[in-house]
Amino acid sequence: MSRPSTPLLSPEIIGEAALALSAAGEPFGVNAIARRLGVRPSSLYNHVDGMDGIVELMRGRLVEDYRVEPQGESWDEYLLALLREQRRMYADHPQLVPLLVGKTITHPAVIAAYDDLATVLVEGGFPEGDVLAVIGILDAFAIGFGLDLASPEEVWQPGEETRTLGRILENGERGDARSDRTFELGARLLVDSLRTRFRS
């Protein structure tokens, strides 16, 4: 059983297993992936360049799975759709966030997605000198709200008396409802202020 007639593994299979583990909130290391695929950890190294390679694979699959293609809608509608989808993506894979933002992006599909965004902004009338900053703001937004959505049902649990926070928490929502309201307000504020500042 040292070499099967038809391969058990491939980069695609490995990437998919890694993402499934990550989406389930479980560790997605070499050993965990091998366990899930019924294979020895060392087998993975025939298809993938270690843990770094696996992360690159995951990045590629994520762009595909959460891709939002411009359909000719107005820039603000596109931005809202993109923000919503990206937030979902980071919320589904919070453990992956530091690994994704810690490395330079070279993956062609990811570059293409950012190129789409840059093009929509330029065609929407944004000054070219500001486009990079706007892209960065959108990314920061999506990551921040994604992690917020992934955070526990109860974010704050005051032990002692508070002046304001405790009262606000009692009357406010919690869990996904709280995170959704936060995101919707934030997204609206952002898009509105972009429109105001760069009205064309």
Partner DNA sequence: ACCTGAACACCGTTCAAGT
- Which residue ranges make up the site for DNA (CB under 7 A)? 1-4, 7-9, 27, 29-32, 35, 39-43, 45-47, 50-52
| Distance, CA of 96 to CA of 58 (rounded, Å) | 9
Residue 32 near a copy of itself by CB under 8 A: no
Shortest distance in whole angstroms from residue 53 CB to DNA: 8
| Distance, CA of 175 to CA of 182 (rounded, Å) | 11
Q: CB–CB of 53/61 below 8 Å?
A: no
| Distance, CA of 157 to CA of 80 (rounded, Å) | 32
User: Which residues lie below 8 Å from residue 110, measured CB to CB, with a gap of 6+?
Assistant: 59, 60, 63
- Closer by beta carbon to DNA, 43 or else 182: 43
Shortest distance in whole angstroms from residue 96 CB to DNA: 13
Shortest distance in whole angstroms from residue 175 CB to a copy of itself: 12
Shortest distance in whole angstroms from residue 13 CB to a copy of itself: 25
Residue 105 near a copy of itself by CB under 8 A: yes
User: Which residues lie below 8 Å from residue 101, measured CB to CB, with a gap of 6+?
Assistant: 143
- Closer by beta carbon to a copy of itself, 40 or else 103: 103
How many residues form the binding site for a copy of itself (CB under 8 A)?
A: 71
- Closer by beta carbon to a copy of itself, 9 or else 113: 113
Q: What are phi and psi of 128, to 5 degrees?
A: -60, -30
Considering only 41-49, 52-60, 63-71, 166-174, which stretch makes contact with a copy of itself by CB under 8 A? 166-174
- Closer by beta carbon to DNA, 22 or else 179: 22
Q: Which helix (H) or strand (E) holds 110?
A: helix 108-123
Question: What separation in angstroms does the CA of 32 have from each of 2, 19, 26, 120, 150?
Answer: 21, 12, 9, 40, 22
Residue 2 gets which letter from DSSP?
A: -
At what angle are helices 30-37 and 50-65 packed, to 10 degrees?
A: 70
**Residue 45 binding result from a copy of itself, DNA, none, given CB thresholds of 5 to 8 Å by partner type:** DNA
Shortest distance in whole angstroms from residue 112 CB to a copy of itself: 8
Binding mask 116-155 for a copy of itself (x = CB under 8 A): --xx--x-----xxxxxxx-xx-xxxxxxx-xx-xxx-xx
